[in-house]
Amino acid sequence: MKMKQTGSVWDNHGLWYYSVKLPGEKTRRNVPLKAPNSNHTMRTDRPRKMAEDAAARYWEEHTRQAARHEPRGATVADLCAAWADHCREYYKGTSTAVNAVLDVRLFREMFGGAALAELTHGDMLQLRDALVRSGVSRSTVNARLWRVKYMIGWALDEALIPATVKAELTQVKGVKRGRSAAPERQPVRPVDDATIATTVAHMMPNTADMVRVHRLTGMRPCELCALRWSLIDTSRLPWVYRVPPEVNKNEWRGELGQPRVVCIGPKARAILERHKDGGDVPFSPVRAMAEYIAARHAARVTPVYGKRKDAPHVPRVLGERWTTDAYTKTIHAACGRAGIAPWGANRLRHTFGTEVRRAFGLEAARAVLGHTGGGCITDVYTFDAVADEMVRTASPAVEALG
């Protein structure tokens, strides 16, 4: 028989604690409450519901009798763990693999110990309110709420929940503009060339050229990081970079995927020519680090002393190519050294797309950025035709501006 929970949740200097006297004990305990899979005590800026759930888990763990009650089925924590495994496999190599897990984090923290079948529409409303109070923008609130509902729909497909539970939990609506305390997100603007010039002045030559090529091609950061000489057709003008499937955002569309080609104009070609002697990878973290060390050594004003014998050298292992996170952090670090506000790498794509649209129109901008639209690709002839059409449409703009 399950014993009725006692005790109370309270605020201990900004942290959630559970005051309880367990059966058979003479004194009360003051227990710090923690979220599932966390080693840190929950702060009181987290919803009280999360603290109460943690207290319930603590009570159940310490009062469970030999005669266990019937299993309640999969819990929210179980669902989120299965969802994380699914995302790593299904969205591998993309930012969605990470974002899809982060978007459901608050849902797991609030209801991790609860059985899915016991959740109600009111719990989903509590989740929406907690997202609004977290301070993120209204569009982010709706995106995270949508992701939780999508995960619940996935759970139905995986036979983790019955259809009635899915119908109960996915009826909550998103937040409307001006109807909540959630702020509106400011649109992502292009970054101006003066800011770009100020930033690259505080970067190593290899990485600075990487930013310049990004500005002159409008490709996605992941496409730039995957750039290889072996993937560039230099026998024609403009050069044509065929993006590999593992970083092609639309590779999943249609039976053969949707092609993505990037045209490289004369200014970008001149920059890339400077890096032809570095092997198949034009932009490398290894070369950037070598340039950094050489610059530090050249600027040194004190004598070079020998290494301490009692301090073993631990070499830093760098990856073969840049990751989008490392690339963005490099830009942010350069902005910090320049004393300007940090900006994201994807804004370079906005800059080039805006420039192309202003000078050559919407269709050219769509071709340059890879926004092809249209239906799915159904055969190899259509696949190649779409790629060739993208090159023909983008070539005049890239040759003039890139």
State the pLDDT at residue 70. 40
Domain with CATH 1.10.150 in the chain: 76-169
Cα dist from 158 to 81, 164, 176, 189, 229, whole Å: 13, 14, 31, 41, 43
Where are the alpha helices (H) located in 134-230, listed in sequence order? 138-157, 163-169, 193-200, 205-217, 221-225
The answer for residues whose C-beta is within 8 angstroms of residue 6's C-beta and 6 or more apart is 20, 21, 59
Q: How far apart are CA 98 and CA 224, in angstroms?
A: 20
CATH of domain 76-169: 1.10.150
State the pLDDT at residue 118. 85
Give 19's strand partners: 8, 30
The list of the chain residues with pLDDT below 50 reads 1, 65-71, 374-383
Q: Residue 5: helix, strand or coil by DSSP?
A: coil
State the pLDDT at residue 253. 67
Domain with CATH 1.10.443.10 in the chain: 193-299+319-401
**∠330-334-339 over CA atoms, to 5°?**
145
The answer for residues whose C-beta is within 8 angstroms of residue 175's C-beta and 6 or more apart is 128, 132, 138, 141, 142, 145, 182
State the pLDDT at residue 96. 79
State the pLDDT at residue 245. 82
State the pLDDT at residue 378. 31
pLDDT digits 0-9 by tens, 369-378: 887 654 433 3
The pTM of the full predicted model, rounded to 2 decimals, is 0.65
pLDDT digits 0-9 by tens, 27-36: 888 999 998 8
Q: How far apart are CA 202 and CA 204, in angstroms?
A: 7
Distance from CA of residue 124 to its chain's centroid?
24
Cβ count within 10 A of residue 310: 5
Tokens 């490398």 — which residue? 284
SS3 assignment for 48-83:
HHHHHHHHHHHHHHHHCCCCCCCCCCCEHHHHHHHH
Q: How far apart are CA 267 and CA 217, in angstroms?
A: 10
CATH of domain 193-299+319-401: 1.10.443.10
The answer for residues whose C-beta is within 8 angstroms of residue 240's C-beta and 6 or more apart is 232, 233, 261, 262, 263, 264, 391
State the pLDDT at residue 385. 52
Name the token pair of 62: 């310490």
> To which H or E segment does residue 90 belong?
helix 76-90
Give 264's strand partners: 239
Strands 29-32 and 8-12: unpaired
